[in-house]
């Protein structure tokens, strides 16, 4: 629902006249993105025809919420030799996107702008504003920021220490700590975040024994991991995990709404609220 609303709003913005264009610096016309998160932000903000290439991940429905839109563009794998052939006048990259490619493109005189991961909701707004300025599409970006601010203004259901604790668990026993977008989403949905309660930082390994000892009220896993079997995901099939966190204590979420800070992050909050409330109803 949120996704459809955002895309409809972007389509409406595409019909707005460009008032005062004569007094503005020329907007880049051959924009290339080489990072999944900047891909989706650019797809939302760019004017028709302005974005000419995105990373191949943006066109994969398993990782991208805008795969349909991205499939209409040239895709790249973040290689400098691929991107330079496109003759871009602006390249968007993540802070951790292939440094070799980014450095080579810059040495060749290409304007490469990098974006750090979004750790807070404020970072999403800042990234939208930055892309809006870089692309000369401030009105589009500001409209998306306003929508995001409105959606995030809704009060939390729980604001006290008795709120349920939600922990996340992924491949290779990784969880996420405090000061992260995940912790922001969990708190916005009205719940306490296990990584924050344990004072973990960033992506952290959490031994199964410690997870069981911490005993969060609900365990959040990623739907995408259920499609893979291998050494990395063996821990998610451990009998002790199944015994301590049976189906009624688990929440499976769509990782596409969580991996990048975009306006779609609001849907991660809404989906989490719905699933947690559903579990609470069944418990009653």
pLDDT, mean of residues 160-170: 90
Give tens-digit pLDDT for 66-87. 999 999 999 999 999 999 999 9
CB 203 within 8 A of CB 174: yes
Q: Which of 190, 138, 124 is nearest to 162 (CA)?
A: 190
Give tens-digit pLDDT for 20-45. 344 456 899 999 999 999 999 999 99
Domains and CATH numbers, the chain: 19-151 (3.40.50.1980), 165-283 (3.40.50.1980)
User: Among 7-16, 31-40, 190-199, 227-236, which stretch is predicted with the lowest mean pLDDT?
Assistant: 7-16
pTM of the model: 0.88
pLDDT, mean of residues 251-280: 93
The pLDDT of residue 105: 98
CA distances from 165 to 85, 152, 207, 211, 250 (A): 50, 21, 18, 12, 12
CB 125 within 8 A of CB 89: no
Say which residue, 155 or 222, is predicted with more confidence: 222
Sorting pLDDT into bands at 50, 70 and 90, what band is 277? Answer: confident
Average pLDDT value over all residues in the chain: 90
Q: Is the pLDDT of residue 128 over 50?
A: yes
Say which residue, 282 or 93, is predicted with more confidence: 93
CA distances from 246 to 16, 216, 227, 249, 280 (A): 51, 12, 19, 6, 14
Cβ neighbours of residue 263 closer than 8 Å, sequence gap 6 or more: 2, 6, 44, 124, 128, 144, 147, 148
């Amino acid at each position: 629902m949120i996704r459809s609303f955002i895309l409809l709003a972007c389509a409406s913005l595409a019909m707005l006249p460009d008032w005062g264009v004569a007094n503005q610096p020329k907007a880049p016309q051959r924009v290339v993105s080489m990072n999944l998160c900047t891909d989706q932000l650019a797809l939302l903000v760019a004017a028709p025809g302005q974005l000419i290439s995105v990373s191949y991940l943006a066109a994969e429905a398993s990782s991208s919420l805008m795969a349909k839109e991205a499939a209409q563009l040239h895709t790249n794998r973040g290689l400098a030799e691929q991107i330079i052939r496109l003759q871009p006048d602006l390249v968007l990259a993540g802070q951790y996107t292939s440094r070799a490619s980014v450095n080579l493109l810059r040495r060749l005189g290409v304007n490469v702008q990098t974006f750090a991961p979004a750790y807070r909701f404020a970072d999403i707004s800042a990234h939208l504003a930055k892309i809006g300025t870089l692309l000369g599409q401030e009105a589009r970006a500001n409209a998306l920021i306003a929508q995001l601010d409105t959606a995030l203004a809704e009060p939390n259901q729980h604001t006290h220490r008795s709120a349920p604790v939600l922990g996340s668990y992924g491949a290779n026993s990784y969880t996420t700590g405090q000061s992260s977008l995940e912790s922001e989403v969990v708190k916005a949905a009205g719940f306490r975040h296990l990584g924050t309660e344990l004072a973990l930082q960033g992506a952290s390994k959490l031994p199964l024994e410690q997870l069981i000892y911490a005993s969060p009220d609900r365990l959040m896993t990623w739907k995408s991991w259920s499609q893979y079997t291998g050494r990395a995901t063996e821990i998610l099939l451990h009998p002790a995990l199944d015994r301590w966190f049976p189906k009624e204590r688990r929440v499976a979420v769509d990782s596409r709404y969580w991996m990048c800070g975009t306006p779609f992050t609001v849907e991660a909050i809404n989906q989490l609220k719905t699933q947690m409330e559903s579990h609470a109803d069944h418990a009653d």
